[in-house]
């Protein structure tokens, strides 16, 4: 005897649970480190719910709960880590702080908690100098790691087992993700949303936040002149200003730069690398790249003219440099970033 279809028990597919994202807070936490990634997961949840699908449960926790004061002075309400309950954590997000050295001096209980919590989470991610907390917990040993460009040396000196990627916006090493400075946390969170929810949802979130789903290039897109100043290379300020006015010259060799700096070529090359972290040839290329970017963004000159004005010689050489440093061709860069010219 067969059962009537009407008498069979009805079963329905179980709705997947919300993915729990736990954001770690502590005194002097960087506000945008924390809230940039939070906003991405909030927007992704809206997009998923509009499709009738679960998004993310978001929780901000600190060791003792209550109000936590950010580095910028804003106070955040947090849940005590001891009160989080038994729900599994999908993603553990560890932001950084502009005062990470002082945070580390008082972080032993937090580091111990991170070590245990990471083992139970599906993935652990850091934003900016949050990589220092992951490294202190031993979670980055032997792994390629990203952090804010200005903190790469400090991170490497403190944790020798790390492999620092100084240009990456974010890095994935298995279940551990690290990102570069501040807004790079948004890039990382978008990559996580794309992995979880697909390209369409990630694109929808990127459009809502008015950001690129994947920005071109790496964090080396900051000014080489400003970087040199932060590294105490003011002795080459005059040379850099002269270079800015003479990028079209074809004879910007070590010898000609050394003559301008009134130094011997050998001594100039050694001291310049020591002071700026770049060889003279690399500095010339990056200065030319910066000048070309500004002209592509702000001028009506065609690409060949810009290549000539900036000392690349022709468009192909400029294209190779753009691809190597920014991951995008000059014409594509102009389409993305040019204003009305």
For residue 327, the SS3 value is coil
The rounded distance, in Å, linking the Cα atoms of 118 and 76 is 23
Position of tokens 């809230």? Answer: 35
Q: List the catalytic residue out of 59, 128, 152, 197.
A: 128
CB 192 within 8 A of CB 205: no
Secondary structure E strands in the chain? 19-24, 56-62, 66-69, 75-80, 91-94, 123-126, 144-145, 163-164, 170-173, 176-179
- Say how far apart CA 108 and CA 113 lie, in whole Å: 9
Look up 310 and say whether it is catalytic: no
Give the single-character DSSP code of 81: G
Task: Name the β-bridge partners of 163.
Answer: 144
Given a contact cutoff of 8 angstroms between Cβ atoms, the answer to whether 236 and 271 are in contact is no
Chain CA centroid to CA 158, Å: 20
Active site residues: 128
């Amino acid at each position: 005897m067969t059962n009537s279809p009407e008498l069979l028990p009805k079963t329905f597919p179980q709705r997947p649970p919300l993915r729990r994202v736990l954001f770690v807070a502590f005194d002097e936490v960087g506000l945008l480190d924390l809230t940039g990634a939070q906003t991405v997961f909030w927007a992704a949840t809206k997009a998923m719910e509009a499709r009738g699908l679960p998004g993310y449960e978001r929780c901000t926790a600190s060791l003792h709960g209550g109000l936590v004061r950010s580095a910028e002075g804003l106070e955040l309400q947090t849940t005590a880590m001891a009160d989080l309950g038994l729900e599994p954590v999908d993603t553990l997000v560890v932001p950084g702080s502009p005062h990470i050295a002082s945070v580390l001096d008082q972080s032993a209980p937090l580091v111990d908690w991170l070590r245990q919590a990471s083992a139970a989470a599906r993935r652990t991610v850091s934003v900016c100098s949050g990589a220092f907390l992951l490294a202190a917990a031993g979670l980055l040993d032997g792994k390629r790691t990203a952090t804010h460009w200005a903190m790469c040396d400090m991170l490497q000196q403190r944790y020798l087992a790390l492999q620092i990627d100084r240009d990456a916006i974010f890095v994935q090493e298995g279940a551990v993700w690290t990102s570069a400075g501040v807004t790079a946390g948004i890039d990382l969170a978008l990559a996580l949303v794309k992995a979880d929810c697909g390209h369409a949802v990630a694109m929808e979130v990127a459009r809502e936040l008015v950001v690129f789903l994947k920005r071109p290039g790496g964090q080396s897109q900051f000014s080489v002149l400003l970087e040199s100043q932060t590294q105490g290379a003011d002795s080459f300020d005059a040379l850099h200003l002269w270079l800015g006015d003479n990028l079209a010259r074809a004879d910007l060799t070590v010898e000609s730069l050394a003559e301008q700096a009134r130094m011997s070529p050998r001594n100039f090359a050694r001291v310049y690398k020591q002071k700026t972290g770049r060889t003279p040839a690399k500095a010339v290329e990056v200065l030319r790249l910066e000048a070309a970017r500004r002209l592509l963004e702000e001028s009506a000159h065609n690409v060949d003219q810009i290549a000539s004005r900036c000392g690349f010689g022709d468009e192909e050489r400029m294209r190779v440099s753009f691809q190597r440093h920014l991951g995008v061709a000059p014409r594509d860069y102009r389409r993305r970033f040019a204003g009305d010219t």
